[in-house]
Amino acid sequence: MKFATVGTGWITSAFIDAAKLSGKLSLQAVYSRRKESAEQMAAKHQAPEQFTDLEQMAKSDKIDLVYIASPNALHFKQVLTFLINKKHVICEKPIFSNTEEFKEAFAAADENGVYLFEAIRNIHYPNTLLLKDKLKAAGQIRSAIFQYVQYSSRYDAFLDGKEPNVFSRKFSGGALMDLGVYPLSLAVFLFGAPKDSHYFPVLLRNGIDGAGTLVLEYADFNITVMCSKISHSFIPSEIHGEKASIVIEGISELSKMQLVDAHTKEAVLFSENQEEQNMVYEIRDFVKIMEEKDREAYQRLRQESFDVLTVLEKSRKQNGIHFRTDRS
């Protein structure tokens, strides 16, 4: 399958490298708004073609699939451009700014007979499956704390009076959209959609959440999700069961996980070493779904993405965080 890319940030290079490792996708073209950066990107990754016109790239019959890594607010319009030209789309997290965009885009994917996927890597790792399996050994889950608290170098620019996309409501940014989406997606993958949710943001001067605490309510337990782009955490995430706790290092990487007995306090490592280019796992999952036309797996991912976006949207509405792309 031949693919193209949108966006020239580091994550696009990481995706291209992972695509190469997967052995399933070959890079055909790159897009940038500027000729110079399109050329640089094409040279860096030996892409046969480069574009500065998105429509033109979307119409190319040499491309089967596009990977989109642009600012969140642009996802919807760009995704639609490719879907209506019958290209499969892998779009970066969070897939859209609101659920209206989500419904419209997935309907367009169905109408055009193509697939649309959200690139949220931490629900596709081998370690994610090991974690889900290990929940049984933890016994009845009673609480969890998931955190992604990472100081962003872009916050320095924000403090200097600028407004980087990720700290902007215009571009559907904020801590919950950018980082909270990882722990939230993992929670939805492991436990399903929460019964209810409440977000307590730390708002910055322009009304964006620089940090926040999201409480997810389930039938027998709550999950506290902490996210921040304006401070840094040095503690792991944890799931607390009646028999044992699970300690997770790196909620977006799931690099190291231990089961710790609640009584003996004995810790057993159960995670495995994963590929450094860990986007390879989502790529393999997406390609498998397309090759096998596995509608069930596709619907499962789609529902999870929808449940995550529903919480993201509700969290914003609870706090009057309005995005430019919001229709209501």
Ligand X SMILES: NC(=O)c1ccc[n+]([C@@H]2O[C@H](COP(=O)([O-])OP(=O)(O)OC[C@H]3O[C@@H](n4cnc5c(N)ncnc54)[C@H](OP(=O)(O)O)[C@@H]3O)[C@@H](O)[C@H]2O)c1
- Which residues contact ligand X (rule: CB under 6 A)? 7-9, 11, 32-34, 37, 69-72, 74, 92-93, 119, 121, 165-166, 178
In the complex, which residue's CB is closest to ligand X?
A: 9
Shortest distance in whole angstroms from residue 172 CB to ligand X:
9
Shortest distance in whole angstroms from residue 165 CB to ligand X:
4
Rg (CA), the chain: 20
Are 91 and 79 contacting, i.e. CB atoms less than 8 angstroms apart? yes
Q: Which is nearer to ligand X, 31 or 306 (CB)?
A: 31
Shortest distance in whole angstroms from residue 14 CB to ligand X:
7
Candidates 62, 101, 94; CA nearest to 80 is: 101
Q: Which is nearer to ligand X, 52 or 222 (CB)?
A: 52
Q: Which is nearer to ligand X, 72 or 228 (CB)?
A: 72
Q: Which is nearer to ligand X, 18 or 246 (CB)?
A: 18
Shortest distance in whole angstroms from residue 328 CB to ligand X:
22
Amino acid symbol at 247:
V
Q: Which is nearer to ligand X, 97 or 258 (CB)?
A: 97
Decide: residue 100, CB within 10 A, 0-12 exposed, 13-18 middle, 19+ buried. middle
Q: Which is nearer to ligand X, 177 or 287 (CB)?
A: 177
Q: Which is nearer to ligand X, 131 or 175 (CB)?
A: 175
SS3 at position 162: coil
Shortest distance in whole angstroms from residue 173 CB to ligand X:
8
Shortest distance in whole angstroms from residue 57 CB to ligand X:
12
From CA 125, how far away is CA 128, in angstroms rounded? 5
Are 311 and 214 contacting, i.e. CB atoms less than 8 angstroms apart? yes
Shortest distance in whole angstroms from residue 284 CB to ligand X:
15
From CA 67, how far away is CA 118, in angstroms rounded? 10
From CA 139, how far away is CA 296, in angstroms rounded? 29
Concatenated DSSP letters of 189-254: HHH-S-SEEEEEEEE-TTS-EEEEEEEEE-SS-EEEEEEESSS---S-EEEEESSEEEEEE-TTT-
Q: What are phi and psi of 99, to 5 degrees?
A: -75, -20
Are 181 and 307 contacting, i.e. CB atoms less than 8 angstroms apart? no
